[in-house]
């Protein structure tokens, strides 16, 4: 086996902060006003929230005085398969070219996330070819809450493993896509950040320093020279997944470590708990070891 090194987004220290990036209000097709939406999430103990109405930028700054949560300005761009653009400063242009939407968000130093890939009666809101062809987006929704009550699958772990196995880099996000109150608090992201401020939280979301969850709480993610260790207090099973979605190992326990062999391409941890709840750590990429000097 060739010597390898592990590349991963996690930091040795930092606090965990919980948030949802995909939320609709009465400014588009949501049930609740921005103020009531913010209040709901604040009461549920969220640390950050992105309001992301369809095809307009929900003006987060207007509501910042009213909440202790970090609010991020965002939008969900339609005109094709949906893209969530977070931390953008302007209203989105009308644009059907998906690559141009991603470029528009990037020019404002925002991030793009491809929404609910498995939405629809054909489970194909995004084709796999589109996902694999586009560049410059941060990741995909591996879980989208509103699809629980719509056609298709709320989960898109299959798409994520195919994408990662094809050699693409993409983080996995879990979002509510809340339109109604009943959609709230189904899926969220827990970032590792040094402070509860917009910059630290945004950078963690952009750089993959987070895990996605529907209820399982990860306490520690540690990556060593050749090991991936995860502790999740309410997990009953921890699975390590590699290329093309293969289970590499599992443990019926609230903590587990995996020793990397070097040919897995990537390793990601999936923590399963009661009632179908889960948490998904971001992939650890296995790369050839660089020579010491060039
Ligand atoms: Zn949406």
Compute how many other C-beta atoms are within 10 angstroms of the C-beta atom of residue 112: 24
- CATH value at residue 103: 3.20.20.140
Query: What total number of domains does the chain contain?
Result: 1
Residue 74 near residue 88, CB atoms below 8 Å: yes
Considering the domain boundaries, does residue 231 fall inside one?
no
How many angstroms does the Cα of residue 293 sit away from the middle of ligand 1? 48
Cα separation, 262 vs 2, in Å, equals: 7
- Count CB-CB contacts under 10 A for residue 213: 23
Instruction: Please tell me the distance between residue 84's alpha carbon and the centre of ligand 1 in angstroms.
Output: 8
Residue in this structure with the two tokens 């009943």, named with its chain if needed: 182
Residue 250, in any domain of the structure: no
Domain assignment present for residue 87? The answer is yes
What is the share, in percent, of the chain residues with pLDDT greater than 90? 94
Residue 20 bridge partners (DSSP)? 49
How far away, in angstroms, is 22 Cα from ligand 1 center? 6
- Which residue in 163, 173, 172 sits closest to 265, CA to CA? 163
18 in any annotated domain = yes
Q: Write out the residue range of the structural domain in which residue 57 sits.
A: 9-212
Backbone conformation region of residue 167, classed left if phi is above 0, alpha if psi is from -120 to 50, else beta: left
Q: Ligand 1 centre from 170 Cα, in Å?
A: 20
Gap from CA of 162 to ligand 1 centroid (Å): 23
pTM: 0.97
- Does 43 fall in a domain? yes
How many angstroms is it from 21 CA to the middle of ligand 1?
Answer: 10
Residues linked to residue 247 through DSSP beta bridges, in sequence order:
241
- Does residue 237 fall inside a structural domain? no
pLDDT tens track for 92-131: 999 999 999 999 999 999 999 999 999 999 999 999 999 9
Q: How far is the CA of 222 from the centre of ligand 1 (A)?
A: 33
Question: For 41-60, what is each residue's pLDDT tens digit?
Answer: 999 999 999 999 999 998 88
Residue 66 lies in a domain: yes
Q: What is the pLDDT along the chain (294 residues), one digit of tens a residue?
A: 689 999 999 988 889 999 999 999 999 999 999 999 999 999 999 999 999 999 999 888 899 999 999 999 999 999 999 999 999 999 999 999 999 999 999 999 999 999 999 999 999 999 999 999 999 999 999 999 999 999 999 999 999 999 999 999 999 999 999 999 999 999 999 999 999 999 999 999 999 999 999 999 999 999 999 999 999 999 999 999 999 999 999 999 999 999 999 999 999 999 999 999 999 999 999 999 976 665
Cα-to-chain-centroid distance, residue 99 = 20
Q: 249 pairs with which residues across the strands?
A: 240
């Amino acid at each position: 086996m060739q010597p390898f090194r592990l590349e991963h987004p996690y930091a040795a220290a930092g606090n965990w902060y919980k948030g949802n990036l995909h939320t609709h209000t009465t400014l588009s097709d949501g049930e609740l006003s921005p103020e009531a939406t913010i209040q709901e999430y604040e009461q549920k103990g969220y640390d950050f929230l992105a309001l992301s109405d369809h095809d307009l930028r929900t003006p987060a700054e207007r509501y910042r005085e009213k909440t202790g949560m970090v609010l991020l300005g965002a939008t969900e761009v339609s005109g094709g398969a949906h893209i969530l653009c977070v931390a953008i400063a302007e209203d989105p242009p009308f644009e059907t070219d998906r690559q141009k939407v991603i470029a528009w968000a990037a020019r404002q130093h925002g991030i793009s996330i491809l929404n609910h890939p498995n939405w629809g009666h054909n489970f194909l809101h995004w084709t796999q070819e589109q996902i694999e062809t586009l560049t410059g987006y941060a990741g995909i929704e591996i879980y989208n809450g509103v699809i629980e009550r719509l056609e298709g699958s709320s989960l898109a772990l299959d798409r994520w493993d195919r994408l990662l196995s094809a050699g693409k880099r993409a983080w996995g996000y879990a979002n509510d896509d809340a339109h109604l109150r009943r959609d709230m608090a189904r899926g969220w992201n827990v970032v590792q950040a040094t402070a509860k401020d917009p910059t630290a939280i945004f950078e963690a979301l952009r750089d993959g320093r987070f895990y996605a969850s529907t209820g399982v709480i990860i306490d520690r993610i540690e990556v060593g020279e050749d090991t991936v260790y995860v502790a999740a207090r309410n997990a009953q099973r921890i699975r390590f997944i590699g290329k093309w979605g293969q289970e590499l190992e599992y443990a019926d326990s609230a903590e587990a470590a995996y020793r990397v062999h070097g040919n897995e391409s990537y390793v990601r941890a999936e923590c399963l708990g009661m009632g179908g709840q889960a948490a998904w750590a971001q992939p650890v990429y296995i790369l050839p070891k660089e020579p010491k000097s060039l």
